[in-house]
Amino acid sequence: MHDKTIAELATALRGGEVSSVELTEHYLRRIESLDGCLNSLITVTAEQALETARAADDARVRGEAGPLTGVPIVHKDIFCTQGVRTSCASRMLDNFISPYDAGVVERFKAAGCPVLGKTNMDEFAMGSSNETSFYGPVNNPWDTERVPGGSSGGSAAAVAARLAPGATGTDTGGSIRQPAALTGITGLKPTYGRVSRWGMIAFASSLDQGGPMARTAEDCGLMLNVMAGFDARDSTSLERPAEDFNACLNSTLRGLKIGLPREFFGEGMDPGVARVINEAIDFYRKLGAEFVDVDLPHSGLSVPVYYVVAPAECSSNLARFDGVRYGHRCEAPKDLMDLYMRSRGEGFGAEVQRRIMVGTYALSAGYFDAYYLKAQKIRRLIADDFRNAFEQVDVILAPATPTTAFRLGEKTADPVTMYLSDIYTIAVNLAGLPAMSLPAGFAEGLPVGMQLIGNYFDEARLLGVAHQYQMGTEWHQMAPAGFE
């Protein structure tokens, strides 16, 4: 059953071909036998998953099942889950058992989805390779000597290896789309404010956004139907009418205007990635789409802007982890200052400490105007560039990453090189737009992701454009050797 998509599993459950308990047990067995070489999960919640699966089967007998009732998923370990360790892949929260559910977790519980476990990630979502985790790096199932991308690398690897049919992720600067691209799955970052941030442990509050990760655009739409919605507990949540995000799956692409940003097709892109993206463009032409060159002149500044704004917000958000209220506390502190310094020094990894220091510096007296304020002004210009582009086109197409998955340890000694892994994704977060990555081919045996960017609240159109591509290609059906 693990070769089926979420949509296919939902159909099988409705038709009585399989029960949720049987399905959940099947995935738990795969996790037990296959995750040892991937390290994609931090916590496996077998008992809770089977309890939910039994309740889902009972609900189906009573005629009370919803579209995804009984379909198992995994959650990124950044979403608080009641009674389960929620660690953010950090020593700081290694002993934290959440007393409540995040808004996203609540919604999947209400939908009747068994949760198989919590996935590994970069510590506090800070990283592009899933190598900063306190629990060790995640390996890419396509080549276990390579990274799966980050920070949602555990979620991406679990879906790619068929350990779960779907996963939740979060995207602050590309952390859904980049790992989706490097592992050959589909991942969607919704419009900022679409999905509740309540109980999603904050990294950079003006950028973080939860979203679905699955094998197909159709599956991502089904998951987003569950995830999206207003949450009064989240001050950034947007109140909008409910909609079916899969309503446009079968819409024709004839006459659709797709923008190609000149700035995303220049130097720095691997030739193999460029070849795959150009082949995807040719495919869309055959479907009747029209292509228009567009300019995003300030997009080249997105990386430096992001690495001022995001660390500034993280330095504020992570101030609460002080060894006093909850989380890691050092042994036998001499005084309050020693408690703070050693608890934070021991609890946070090197990358988190680096970003806290950068952010604190950018917000400090005398530097706020020079760095943080200026970065926010450029951020507005980046958003304006997209706004101007969408006056000419319906969707923007670009590569998701400049290269395929790189080797473990290849970039850990050079943070700047690591940061450039997100060069094609960061601008979208700064503007708050929806975007997704979907598998478009292979370069030297490794997956390549194509990025589609939409206008605000245009997720349904994005999913339709992606679905039409997947109906005519087979890249999303490919499984890594040993995980078929």
Sheet of 435-443: strand order equals 41-44, 115-119, 73-76, 166-170, 210-214, 186-189, 435-443, 446-454, 395-399, 257-261, 290-294
In whole angstroms, give the CA distance from residue 255 to residue 290. 6
442 located within any domain: no
Q: Is residue 369 part of a domain?
A: no
Closest CA to 156 of 400, 347, 415: 400
The CATH number for 83's domain is 3.90.1300.10
Element (H, E) at 455: none
Q: State how far the Cα of 177 lies from the Cα of 192, in Å rounded to an integer.
A: 15
Rounded Cα distance, 201 and 69, in Å: 26
CB-CB contact of 7 with 216 (8 Å): yes
Cβ–Cβ under 8 Å, residues 312 and 205:
no
CB 77 within 8 Å of CB 86: yes
Residues annotated as catalytic (active site), given as ranges: 76, 151, 175
| Domain of residue 232, residue span | 6-241+248-255
Q: Please indicate, yes or no, if residue 406 is contained in any of the structural domains.
A: no
Between CA 432 and CA 234 the distance in angstroms is 16
The pLDDT value recorded for residue 268 is: 85
Dist. CA 113–CA 111, nearest whole Å: 6
Predicted local confidence at residue 288, as pLDDT:
97
Q: How much is the pLDDT for 146?
A: 98
- Please report, in tens digits, the pLDDT of each residue of the chain (484 residues total): 999 999 999 999 999 999 999 999 999 999 999 999 999 999 999 999 999 999 999 999 999 999 999 999 999 999 999 999 999 999 999 999 999 999 999 999 999 999 999 999 999 999 999 999 999 999 999 999 999 999 999 999 999 999 999 999 999 999 999 999 999 999 999 999 999 999 999 999 999 999 999 999 999 999 999 999 999 999 999 999 999 999 999 999 999 999 999 999 988 899 999 999 999 999 999 999 999 999 999 999 999 999 999 999 999 999 999 999 899 999 999 999 999 999 999 999 999 999 999 999 999 988 888 899 999 999 999 999 999 999 999 999 999 999 999 999 999 988 888 988 899 999 999 999 999 999 999 999 999 999 999 999 999 999 999 999 999 999 999 999 999 9
CB 89 within 8 A of CB 42: yes
Residue indicated by tokens 């977790």:
105
Domain tally, the chain: 1
Q: Which two tokens stand for residue 162?
A: 């068929």
Identify the pLDDT of residue 415: 87
Residue 52 maps to a domain: yes
Give yes or no for a contact between 214 and 166, defined as CB atoms under 8 angstroms apart.
yes
Task: Name the nearest CA neighbour of 104 among 292, 218, 234.
Answer: 234
Closest CA to 150 of 130, 172, 133: 130
pLDDT number for residue 421: 87
Residue 107 lies in a domain: yes
Residues 429 and 276: their CA atoms lie apart, in Å, by 24
Domain membership flag for residue 60: yes
HSE toward the beta carbon, residue 150, CA cutoff 13 A: 33
CB 146 within 8 A of CB 409: no
CA distance 462 to 269: 24
The reply to whether 468 falls in a domain is no
Which residues, other chains included, contact 318 with Cβ-Cβ below 8 Å and sequence gap of 6+? 124, 348, 352, 356
Residue 266 lies in a domain: no
Instruction: State the burial class of residue 414 (Cβ atoms within 10 Å of its Cβ: 0-12, 13-18, 19+).
Output: exposed
